Homo-oligomer: A and B are copies of this chain.
Amino acid sequence: MAEGLKVLGAALPADVKLETTEFDLGARRYHRTGETLPDSVLAELKAHDAILLGAIGDPSVPSGVLERGLLLKLRFAFDHHINLRPGRLFPGVRSPLAGDPKIDFVVVREGTEGPYVGNGGTLRTGTEHEVATEVSLNTAYGIERVVRDAYRRAQARPRKKLTLVHKNNVLVHAGHLWTRIFEQVGREFPEVTTDYLHVDAATIFFVTQPERFDVIVTDNLFGDILTDLAAAVTGGIGLAASGNINPSGAFPSMFEPVHGSAPDIAGQGKADPTATVLSVAMLLDHLGYHAEAARIEDAVAADLTGRTGTRTTTQVGDALAARVSA
């Protein structure tokens, strides 16, 4: 996080005054207070232009507590319906895939619906007769806005290609709704070429033909899975950035590395800050600082090309900040 803020400071024009507020959320606060995200903090956060979220999670906290109580709470409370995750293989970065695939796509993951709504429950909890349900909720309203956003992005890119990923042959209720709206909105974008893939087939193509993808639009859970796979084939989760975007501006958008925390190496200066730095670039882009965002991306690209040996977290941050201010 420190390196992300360092690069952010280096990228901003001299006449822009950056004001930051630090919120100590996550495992430490949970252990101290039992709270994850009190409403008062939510209200304070709302007053900011954007949020940069450090990776959260710690094995000392039961699974789901911070995820549902902090990260997902933020995404839902601020209606972050566009979860934007680029999948780009930077020059000089080794992919685990053989050959030298050219990978440059972006996943537009729905962020506020689907199996992530937290709807469901258990019956006869803890017994041998327990039943547990998870309900995926999908609305025409929620799907249409993310699908239209994805079409716009596809329209603005040279290849103008949009792929819908779902599982409409099994999850027929949600799948047919996604498919209907995808086709309907597509009529407004005659220049965009479209196709459809089942999520299982999509994972195959991520590995065998990642070049074929330009923009992908998909549901919350499939997007979660596909973007980790995308990170893997583009050289690792240490480089994957993401934005949780509310395009209306009614609430602050939030930017975060796709990776989780790594409590086992915390404070040792080993973590690669690149994914956070690239998330800062997405944040700047979202706030209208397009040139500054591009400078950060170029700095990362140049830094990755020249990487040899191991550097500390601070060394990587310093190198990127130096390139950005140069």
A residues in contact (CB < 8 Å) with B: 63-64, 67-68, 72, 94-98, 115-116, 118, 120-122, 124, 126-141, 144, 167-177, 179-180, 199-201, 203-204, 207-208, 221, 224-225, 227-229, 231-233, 236-237
Instruction: Flag if B136 contacts A134 (CB, 8 Å).
Output: yes
Q: Measured between alpha carbons, how far is A237 from B221 in the docked complex, in Å?
A: 23
Instruction: Flag if B64 contacts A134 (CB, 8 Å).
Output: no
Q: Measured between alpha carbons, how far is A138 from B131 in the docked complex, in Å?
A: 6
Query: Which residues of B lie under 8 Å from residue A122 when comparing CB positions?
Result: 173, 176-177
Instruction: Flag if B132 contacts A173 (CB, 8 Å).
Output: yes
**The residue from B115, B120, B137, B175 contacting A131, defined by CB atoms under 8 A apart:** B137
Instruction: Flag if A225 contacts B207 (CB, 8 Å).
Output: no
Instruction: Flag if A225 contacts B237 (CB, 8 Å).
Output: no
A115 to chain B: closest CB distance in Å?
6
A-B contact pairs, 26 of them (CB 8 A): A63-B169, A63-B172, A64-B169, A64-B170, A96-B98, A98-B98, A115-B115, A115-B134, A115-B170, A120-B136, A120-B174, A121-B173, A122-B177, A129-B141, A130-B139, A131-B137, A132-B176, A133-B174, A134-B135, A134-B173, A134-B174, A170-B221, A203-B203, A203-B229, A207-B232, A207-B233
Q: Measured between alpha carbons, how far is A97 from B98 in the docked complex, in Å?
A: 5
Q: How many copies does the complex hold?
A: 2
Instruction: Flag if B130 contacts A137 (CB, 8 Å).
Output: no
A129 to chain B: closest CB distance in Å?
6
Q: Which of A132, A138, A203 has the most CB of B within 10 A?
A: A132
Contact A167:B221 (CB < 8 A) given known A173-B134, A174-B132? yes
Sample of 6 further A-B pairs with CB below 8 A, known A63-B168, A121-B173, A128-B141 = A95-B98, A115-B115, A133-B138, A134-B173, A167-B221, A204-B228
A224 to chain B: closest CB distance in Å?
5
Instruction: Flag if B207 contacts A64 (CB, 8 Å).
Output: no
Q: Measured between alpha carbons, how far is A20 from B180 in the docked complex, in Å?
A: 42
Query: Which residues of B lie under 8 Å from residue A135 when comparing CB positions?
Result: 120, 133-136
- For A219, the closest partner residue in chain B by CB is B134
- For A168, the closest partner residue in chain B by CB is B63
Instruction: Flag if B127 contacts A140 (CB, 8 Å).
Output: yes
- For A204, the closest partner residue in chain B by CB is B232
- For A72, the closest partner residue in chain B by CB is B170
**The residue from B96, B126, B138 contacting A132, defined by CB atoms under 8 A apart:** B138
Query: Which residues of B lie under 8 Å from residue A204 when comparing CB positions?
Result: 228-229, 231-232, 237
Query: Which residues of B lie under 8 Å from residue A199 when comparing CB positions?
Result: 224-225
- For A178, the closest partner residue in chain B by CB is B132
Query: Which residues of B lie under 8 Å from residue A129 when comparing CB positions?
Result: 139-141
- For A138, the closest partner residue in chain B by CB is B132
Q: Measured between alpha carbons, how far is A186 from B67 in the docked complex, in Å?
A: 26
Instruction: Flag if B169 contacts A144 (CB, 8 Å).
Output: no
Query: Which residues of B lie under 8 Å from residue A126 when comparing CB positions?
Result: 180
A145 to chain B: closest CB distance in Å?
12
Q: Measured between alpha carbons, how far is A48 from B16 in the docked complex, in Å?
A: 76
